[in-house]
């Protein structure tokens, strides 16, 4: 039975013999038998951990750069495994977000302010749906279509939009929203960082599986 590595010395030389012990050799054999399963488990954990890390990183970066509450950005991010659990996806809804969700709206006599943005002539109130939003009447002297992108009345700007379902013939209203178009150029950077992170985490998880079968940690 192998006792592991050993050495011998003589008057003229020393010799080291490197070999696994019987216990370690059996652990290697056991690990080899379960490599496919262990590798798949390591890959699945690495993907899930990387997706959580990426979701946190994107939410923090977008919230900081676009002056949007991180919690609101996080709600736009959805992580889920792909078919066969061999990969994962992170969905990011980059359609305009309601300005009322970017921070804590504050109503004043002249308008509404939120997250450093100012909507003169607007009001914060529940008009449609189950929650309050920031609105402005389209016939208000303070309404400027250029400041409400993705609307039916004009183009340009970055602060809101108009939906036909949110207007009627008597009181046409525009709901303030914030465009997320500025995040589009960052996707390539995020993909590269996620790829690097996945490789790091995958190495850690594979090492975990190896150590588990070599007795480095308690079997689970």
The secondary structure of the chain as a DSSP string is --B--EEEE-SS-EEEE---BHHHHHHHHHHHHHHHHHHHHHHHHHHHHHHHHHHHHHHHHHHHHHT--HHHHHTTEEEEEPGGGS-EEEEE--S-EEGGGSS--EE-SSEEEETTEEEET-EEE--SSSS-EEEEETTSTT--GGGSTT-SS----SSEE--GGG--SSS-EEEEEE--GGGGGGHHHHHHHHHHHHHHHHHHHHHHHHHHHHTSS---
Residues 48, 154 within the same domain: no
14 falls within a domain: no
Low-confidence ranges of the chain (pLDDT < 50): 1, 18, 151-167, 169, 217, 219-220
* pLDDT given at position 162: 46
Residue 2 lies in a domain: no
Give every CB contact of residue 57 below 8 A, 6+ residues apart in sequence: 190, 193
**Quick one: 90 and 108 in the same domain?**
no
- The residue among 140, 107, 99 whose CA lies nearest residue 123 is 107
* Residue 168 within a domain: yes
- Is 5 within the bounds of a domain? no
Whether residues 82 and 106 fall in one domain? no
Same domain, 30 and 102: no
Please report whether residue 11 resides in a domain: no
Contacts of 108-114 with C-beta under 8 Å, sequence gap 24+, read 111/142, 112/176
Residues 173 and 103 in one domain: yes
**Same domain, residue pair 30 and 76:** yes
**Interval 101-149: pLDDT, tens:** 889 999 988 989 988 888 888 899 888 778 888 888 888 888 876 555 5
Same domain, 174 and 71: no
Establish if 18 belongs to a structural domain: no
**Whether residue 84 is found in the same domain as residue 108:** no
Claim to verify: residue 82 and residue 102 sit in the same structural domain: no
Is 8 within the bounds of a domain? no
Angle value at C-alpha 73, between 69 and 79, nearest 5 degrees: 150
104 and 174 in a single domain? The answer is: yes
Q: How many domains does the chain have?
A: 2
Q: What is the pLDDT of residue 152?
A: 42
Tell me the CB-side half-sphere exposure of residue 172, using CA atoms within 13 A: 13
Question: How confident is the model at residue 64, as a pLDDT?
Answer: 92
120 and 165 inside one domain: yes
Query: What is the CA 46 to chain-centroid distance, rounded?
Result: 15
CA–CA dist 91, 79 (Å, integer): 6
Q: Are 107 and 121 in contact (CB under 8 A)?
A: no
pLDDT of residue 23: 74
Tokens of residue 67, six digits: 């002056």
Flag whether 127 is in a domain. yes
Which residues form the domain of 138?
98-179
103 shares its domain with 90: no
């Amino acid at each position: 039975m192998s006792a592991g590595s050993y050495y011998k010395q003589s008057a003229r030389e020393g010799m080291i013999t490197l070999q696994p012990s019987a216990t370690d050799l059996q652990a290697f054999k056991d690990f080899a038998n379960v490599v496919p399963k262990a590798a798949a488990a390591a890959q699945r954990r690495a993907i899930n951990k990387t997706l959580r890390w990426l979701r946190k990183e994107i939410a923090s970066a977008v919230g900081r750069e676009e002056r949007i509450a991180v919690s609101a950005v996080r709600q736009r991010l959805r992580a889920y495994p792909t078919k066969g659990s061999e990969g994962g996806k992170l969905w990011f809804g980059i359609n305009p977000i309601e300005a009322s969700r970017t921070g804590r709206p504050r109503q004043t006599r002249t308008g509404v302010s939120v997250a450093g943005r100012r909507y003169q002539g607007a009001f914060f109130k529940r008009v449609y749906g189950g929650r309050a939003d920031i609105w402005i009447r389209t016939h208000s002297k303070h309404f400027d279509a250029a400041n409400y992108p993705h609307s039916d009345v004009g183009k340009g700007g970055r602060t809101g939009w108009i939906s036909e379902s949110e207007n009627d013939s008597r009181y046409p209203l525009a709901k303030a929203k914030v465009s997320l178009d500025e995040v589009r150029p960052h996707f390539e950077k995020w993909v590269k960082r996620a790829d690097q992170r996945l490789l790091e985490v995958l190495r850690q998880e594979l090492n975990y599986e190896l150590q588990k079968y070599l007795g480095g940690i308690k079997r689970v």
